[in-house]
Amino acid sequence: MAPHVLILGGTTEARELARVLTARPGVRVTTSLAGRVTRPGAVAGEVRVGGFGGVAGLADWMRHEHVDALIDATHPFARAITAHAAQAAAATGVPSVVLRRPGWRPGPGDRWHPVDSLEEAAELLPSLGRRVFLTTGRMELAAFAHLTELHFVVRSVELPEPPMPPHTEVLLARGPFTVADESTLLYDHCIDVLVTKDSGGAATSAKLTAARELALPVVVVRRPRLPDGVTSVPDVAGVQRWLDLDSP
């Protein structure tokens, strides 16, 4: 029977991993997507959409589908599913690893203000600017809803969910974006402060370069810690080594 690898996906790295593993003869690959985006990008191999019903549901699915390895390649801020994956892997005895791209690091000229939560970011904002480019995700605007004196520009693939700040302008767009794109957006909307999560990767890092060039302050929400005892690797090649597969 072909070994079955379950990828908890939704990231660029998850799609790349699925592509690489499906090209391996004799490997069955299933990518699970949360279903929060109605038009996700194409994914190689088998795809399932929707939640599992918590730790017990994920463990039951893994047993029923004879999963041999679990790869958590979800977003670095998907705290709940990462915790569920670790618990389900422990309950089933299935080896697991977390694929986490490295976080961003400030460079010369950056005006970063690291915080540990969205609430802390919201508390800091009024002291930094009045027009905010908010890039923390369409489902997490509630932490800023009480900031009635600030104007927010929110970019999202799909319409954000309330509650949200009363003065919010929504831009529907899908990345990646260039530095020129981001510089134009910041300039045209008179942005004086950027808020972002430390997602890492190149797909959304251009806004940081644009903010640096315009000398804008950036509020950076730090990543949550991984659960105790969880193994992590930084890239697709690291997953292949963990699976004992040589990189092509």
Per-residue pLDDT tens for 59-93? 999 999 999 999 999 999 999 999 999 999 999 99
Per-residue pLDDT tens for 159-174? 998 999 999 999 999 8
Residue 194's nearest CA partner among 183, 203, 170 is: 183
The pTM is what? 0.88
Cβ(91)–Cβ(70) below 8 Å = no
* Mean pLDDT of the chain, nearest integer: 93
Residue 95's nearest CA partner among 5, 189, 208, 213 is: 5
Q: How confident is the model at residue 35 (pLDDT cuts 50, 70, 90)?
A: confident
Residue 12's nearest CA partner among 99, 142, 123, 140 is: 99
Q: Which residues contact 230 (CB under 8 A, 6 or more apart)?
A: 82, 86, 96, 98
Per-residue pLDDT tens for 211-226? 999 999 999 999 999 9
Does residue 175 register a pLDDT over 90? no
Task: Report the alpha-carbon distance of residue 63 to residue 68 in Å, rounded.
Answer: 9
CA–centroid distance for 196 within its chain: 11
